[in-house]
Amino acid sequence: MDCLENAVFLFLGLPGVGKGTLASMIAPELDLEHISTGDLFRTEIKSGSALGEKLQDSIDKGELVSDQLVNQVVKNKISGLGNKGIILDGFPRTIEQAKSLDQMLSDFGRSVSLLIYLETTKEIIKKRLLGRLVCENCAENFNEYFKQPKVAGVCDFCQGKVSKRTDDTAELIEQRLLQYQMKTAPVKDYYQHRGLVVEFNVEKNSEQVKSTIIEALKRSFQKETFVV
Ligand code: AMP
């Protein structure tokens, strides 16, 4: 097992590009903690808390949750991890969040190692989102068009209930893509200026993409640890 202690990798790209799927395949192979802000919010919503209701309200409108709240959630999560390497999936999504991440990482003696930018066509994105099915128990992804569960409505892995996300409707998808263009796209430039971005086209076989990304993560981190 490769040990990437202190590494901080960011996965960025349009909603539905496959950040969560790839991050959840790669994290266990490199002993990294996979932190998905979207998953953290959905867990909070399921708990029925007052905070969960507030989060549901933003998600139901296809809007981003406030920077202040997201930053706090991520800080709490990172502070409990010691030196463990991290993949951040779905964060930062605004320049404000990127600045806050820099600050919190520097407080922990860390910095961003690499940003993996995933891209594909808008047509594929829309089909992935409209057909997406998610296990309510283990969060495994399926798709009505590309990857149906063996038994309809039941997760292949944990037998949990498989359903559509409430924000995967045609109207909310448009709204989320718009939010991405306005607020999240500039985050790529923010890291590109620091030479930290590597781009991957994810139309191809996901096993192949996964292996190429794993090599890029290992290489970037080896470089970082050897520069003293
Ligand atoms: P995701 O599962 O990453 O598509 O996230 C689902 C929803 O959670 C998003 O559409 C946002 O409403 C909210 N969300 C997740 N991550 C963030 C973030 N970093 N900043 C603001 N809102 C977020």
Sequence length of the chain is 228
Q: What's the pLDDT score for residue 142?
A: 93
Full-model pTM:
0.93
How far is the C-alpha of 57 from the C-alpha of 42, rounded, in Å? Answer: 12
Check 42, 110, 128, 132 and give the catalytic one.
Answer: 132
Secondary structure class of 201 (helix, strand, coil): strand
Q: How far is CA 200 from CA 23, 114, 120, 171, in A?
A: 13, 13, 9, 28
pLDDT tens figures, 168-193: 999 999 999 999 999 999 999 999 99
> Using the 8-state DSSP alphabet, how is residue 7 labeled?
-
pLDDT > 60? residue 209:
yes
Give the pairing of strands 132-135 and 141-143.
Answer: antiparallel
Q: Which position has the token pair 């901080």?
A: 8
> Which pLDDT band, with edges at 50, 70 and 90, does 225 fall under?
low
Cα of 25 from ligand 1 centre, angstroms = 20
What are the DSSP calls for 38-101, one per residue?
A: HHHHHHHHHTT-HHHHHHHHHHHTTPPPPHHHHHHHHHHHHHTSTT--EEEES---SHHHHHHH
Asked if 101 and 94 count as a contact pair (C-beta separation under 8 A), the reply is no
Cα of 20 from ligand 1 centre, angstroms = 12
pLDDT tens figures, 54-69: 999 999 999 999 999 9
Counting ligand 1 atoms within 8 A of each CB, the residue from 10, 39, 40, 41 with the most, and so the one to mutate, is 41
What are the DSSP calls for 129-193, one per residue?
A: HHHEEEETTT--EEETTTB--SBTTB-TTT-PBEE--TT-SHHHHHHHHHHIIIIIHHHHHHHHT
Does the Cβ of 100 fall within 6 Å of ligand 1?
Answer: no
Cα of 124 from ligand 1 centre, angstroms = 20
How far is the C-alpha of 118 from the C-alpha of 102, rounded, in Å? Answer: 21
How far is the C-alpha of 175 from the C-alpha of 173, rounded, in Å? Answer: 5
How far is the C-alpha of 136 from the C-alpha of 14, rounded, in Å? Answer: 22
Residues 209-227 have a mean pLDDT of 81
